[in-house]
């Protein structure tokens, strides 16, 4: 199913963080973005201008001429709006969503050709990313479409994998622990530092080294700190410092116990 990139017309339903980066990356690789939909005109127009496409804020006006439709919406919006999104769509078009936690079978009975195109990364509109290093996981109900999605993904990334819906759901869960929860810890640390008139920037070398270590060591082997050795003097001192922050104190205690339990498992 090899095609020239400019012969593959793509429509984006959604113009959020992921859609913005993915559309721009595909455009820069020579794919033809024909239309962008967003419920807000500012978002739709902004992304459309970046990728040389038309835009619309009406689902009923989504083009019927694209060969590939990439739906990148919040999970609840995707589920609720799906019948309206695909209404009147061309039978030979391929529809994919980009959600980590929604199974592929959401498309069943809605369209004939469907799949999933899931770049596993955290995206912010104002921060550029290098798609070559981003793992992309694809799934389709036909071998031909799976190969087509892998070809598109391979134009962007050096890490392309097939993954079932169950595997992708576990990837998404692991990503929440790896990214979202870790970043929340940074936010809590920033609040602590602010309380003592210290800048968060002093944590950046520590954050960078912690991330670098797991490129070479298993995360469990890379673990350091008072919890892994269960240094009660240090732990109790920290808990006392958090007496005016009961939620953070409970979180500190629970995570310390979890670190110690995991560290002592054979």
Instruction: Write out the residue range of the structural domain in which residue 216 sits.
Output: 169-264
Type and span of the H or E element at 65? none
Give the whole-angstrom CA distance, residue 222 versus residue 215. 10
Give the whole-angstrom CA distance, residue 84 versus residue 106. 14
CATH number of the domain encompassing residue 222: 1.10.1040.20
CATH number of the domain encompassing residue 75: 3.40.50.720
Is residue 33 over pLDDT 70? yes
Instruction: Using alpha carbons, list the distances in angstroms from residue 53 to 45, 50, 191.
Output: 9, 8, 43
Pick from 125, 135, 164: which is nearest to 43 by CA?
125
Pick from 137, 81, 147: which is nearest to 113 by CA?
147
DSSP state of 68: E
Is residue 224 over pLDDT 70? yes
Neighbour count for residue 14 (Cβ, 10 Å): 27
List pLDDT tens digits, range 154-198. 999 999 999 999 999 999 999 999 999 999 999 999 999 999 999
Q: Is residue 230 located within the same domain as residue 254? A: yes
Of the three residues 163, 178, 205, the one that is the final residue of a domain is: 163
The predicted model scores a pTM of 0.88
Q: Is 101 exposed, middle or buried (0-12, 13-18, 19+ CB in 10 A)?
A: middle
Counted domains in the chain:
2
Of the three residues 163, 193, 217, the one that is the final residue of a domain is: 163
Q: Is residue 91 located within the same domain as residue 184? A: no
Give the whole-angstrom CA distance, residue 162 versus residue 143. 11
Banded model confidence at residue 89, pLDDT cuts 50, 70, 90 = confident
Q: Is residue 208 located within the same domain as residue 149? A: no
Span between the terminal Cα atoms of the chain, in Å: 49
Banded model confidence at residue 7, pLDDT cuts 50, 70, 90 = confident
């Amino acid at each position: 199913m090899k095609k020239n990139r400019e012969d593959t017309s793509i429509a984006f339903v959604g113009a959020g963080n992921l859609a913005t980066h993915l559309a721009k990356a595909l455009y820069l690789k020579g794919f033809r973005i024909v239309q962008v939909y967003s419920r807000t005109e500012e978002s739709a127009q902004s992304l459309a201008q970046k990728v040389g496409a038309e835009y619309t804020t009406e689902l009923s006006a989504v083009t019927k001429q694209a060969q590939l439709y990439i739906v990148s919406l919040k999970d609840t919006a995707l589920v609720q709006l799906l019948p309206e999104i695909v209404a009147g769509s061309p039978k030979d078009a391929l529809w994919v969503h980009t959600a980590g936690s929604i199974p592929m079978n959401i498309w069943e009975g809605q369209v004939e050709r469907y799949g999933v195109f899931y770049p596993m990364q955290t995206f912010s509109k104002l921060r550029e990313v290098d798609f070559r290093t981003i793992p992309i996981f694809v799934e389709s109900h036909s071998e031909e479409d799976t190969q087509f999605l892998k070809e598109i993904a391979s134009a962007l990334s050096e890490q392309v994998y097939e993954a079932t819906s169950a595997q992708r759901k576990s990837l998404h869960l692991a990503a929440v622990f790896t990214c979202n929860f870790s970043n929340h810890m940074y936010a809590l640390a920033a609040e602590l530092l602010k309380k003592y008139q210290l800048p968060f920037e002093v944590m950046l070398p520590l954050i960078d080294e912690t991330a670098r270590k797991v490129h070479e060591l298993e995360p469990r082997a890379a673990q350091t700190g008072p919890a892994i050795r269960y240094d009660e003097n240090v732990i109790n001192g920290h808990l006392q410092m958090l007496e005016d922050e009961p939620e953070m104190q409970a979180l500190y205690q629970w995570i310390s116990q979890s670190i110690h339990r995991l560290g002592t498992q054979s």
